Amino acid sequence: MPQNAPADLPVHQQRPTLTKIVATLGPASESPEMITRLVEAGVSVFRFNFSHGTLEEHAIRLQTLRTIARSMRRPLAALGDLQGPKIRVGTVPGAGIELCAGSEVTLRLGLAEAIEEADPVSGGSRVVLPFEYEPLVREVQPGHRVLINDGAIRMLAIDKNLARGELHCRVTTGGLVTSRKGINLPDSDLTAPAITDRDWECVEWAVEHGIDMLALSFVRRAEEVIELKERLSGMCPVSPDESDDFLGSTIPVIAKIEKPQAVDNIDAIVEAADAIMVARGDLGVEMELARVPIVQKRIIKACNRFGKPCIVATQMLESMIESASPTRAETTDVANAVLDGAGAVMLSAETATGKHPALAVETMCRIARAAEDHLATLPATASAPKAAQGNPVPHRRAPRTGAWYVAQDIGAELVVCWSESGGGARYLSQNDFQIPIIAYTSSIKGARRMALLRGVTPIRAEPPESGRLGDWNEMVDRDLAIRGWVEHGTPVVLMAGKPLGKPKVTTMIAIHYIGYFTGFRSHDG
C-alpha cells in the first residue's frame, strides 16, 4: 500500500463492488467507530429509518455521518426512509407479551400501553394492545386477517365495537409482541393517505438537514410519488441545468414497493420515481409469499428497462442479527439479486440492532463481488444495451453508448468521467459495463447522490485550475494509482467535456493507458 495513500483507500485495496450496499443506522451502528467500520467494509448509502427514533436522534446520527465522511474524504449518502401510513402496535411494557394460539386479543384505540384485563365472557383475562390508526376499527371487518410483526403473529378479526374503538381478534399463530411492531391488514380496504402528517414533518426536516434521498413507503400509485416530488420541487427548486438529472437540486424519491397495488402499477411508478426499493417484508405479508421472488425479478426488470436504480431490501442476511455467519439460503438470495440486475442491496436490522454490523456488511460485499466476478466472465453482447426509456436526446446519449463499444474493444478496466451533476454517470450506469465507473465532480451533493448508482464510484474534486482536459488526465493517473485501483498500462476510457465542471457538456471520449501520454492531450485547452 503506498505511503501517501489517502484515507478513503478501500480496505485491502480491493475495488469497490459494482453493487451498492445500503446499511441502516441504529443503536448498534450509530457510534463514530462503527460507522467508520461500515464505510471501510463497503457501505456507500446510510438509511435513516424515520419509523424509529426521534428527529433529534437522527440529527445526531447525520452529524456523525457527515463528520466521518469529511475525515475519510468519502461522499456518503444519507437516505431518509419515511414511515408512511404504517399501522403499528403502541407501547408494550417490558420485554413484550406472549400471545398464544387460540387466545383472544383486543386492539384498542388510544390506549397508553398494553394491558391484561378481565374477560367478562370467558371469566379469564385477555391482552389489550394499543394502536393509533383511528379508521382501523371501521375498515377491518370480521373474518379479515390481522397480522403483526411481518406476519409472525397472525390473528382473525371476530368482532368490533365502534363506540369503544375496539377490534376483537382470535390468535391463530402466536408469538411475542413488542412495542411498535407493524400491523398488516391484507384483506381490508384502507383509506390511509400515502404521506402522513408525520411524513411531511420528516420531509421538512430532510430538506433542512440536506438528506440526499427520500424513500416513500407503501406506494400504491404513481400519483403518490408525483405528489411528494412536486412538494419537494417547491421546497428546493431545480435549476435549468439540473432539471432532468437524478442528482438535481430536488431530493430524489425512492418508491418502496410493498403493496400488491404497487405491483399492478409498477411501470407507472418506476417511471415517476427516481429509484425503487423492493421492500420484501411488507410485500411478503400483503401478498402470497410464494409470489415475492417472481415479483422481485419483475420489478428489477422494470427498473433496468427505465434505467432506474433498484434496491432489494429486507431479511437479506437476517440470521446475522444474532449469528456471525449467514445461512446458505441468505447467501444465495443476495447473489441472485445481484445476478438479476439489482443496483443495490440493503441491510436493515442486521446493522441497526444486530450483533455484527460490520461483519454483515463485509459478508454482503463478498457475496456481491463473487456474483459480479461471475457476470464478468459471461460473453459480452454484440451491441450496447438498448437506451433506457426516458433517456435523454441522442446527442447526450450517444457519447455513453460510444463509450460502451470503446470499452469492449480495448478491454478497459475502468470508465472515468467528469460528471458534474451526475447525469452522465447515471447514463453510464445504465449501460451494463460490468466494470467500475469512476465519476469526478466538484459538487458534494452530486457526489453523495451518485453513491447509489450501480458501478459508479464518485470522487469529489475540483477541476484543474487550467481547465485543460489534459491536466485532468494527469490528475486521474495520479489519483487512481494512489488509490490502488490501477497499474501502469491499465486501459481506461476517459469521458469529459469543456469546460470541466459545467453540467451537460460531455462530448469527448478518449482511450487511455495509465502512465502513457495518451487520452486528452495536454495542449487541448
Q: Which residues are catalytic?
A: 47, 88, 256, 314
Give which of 334, 329, 322 is closest to 363, Cα–Cα: 334
Do residues 216 and 226 lie in contact, with contact meaning Cβ atoms separated by under 8 Å?
no
Taking the C-alpha atoms of 477, 478, 484 and 485 in order, what is their torsion angle to the nearest 10 degrees? Answer: -20
Measured CA to CA, the distance from residue 438 to residue 458 in angstroms comes to: 6
Give which of 200, 190, 50 is closest to 134, Cα–Cα: 190
Give which of 482, 494, 502 is closest to 518, Cα–Cα: 494
Measured CA to CA, the distance from residue 247 to residue 445 in angstroms comes to: 8
Instruction: Outline where 94-174 has alpha helix (H).
Output: 136-139
Task: Burial-class residue 39 by CB neighbours within 10 Å (0-12, 13-18, 19+).
Answer: buried
- What is the chain's percent helix, strand, coil content, to nearest 5? 35, 20, 40
Do residues 40 and 361 lie in contact, with contact meaning Cβ atoms separated by under 8 Å?
no
> In this structure, what C-alpha cell is assigned to residue 117?
384485563
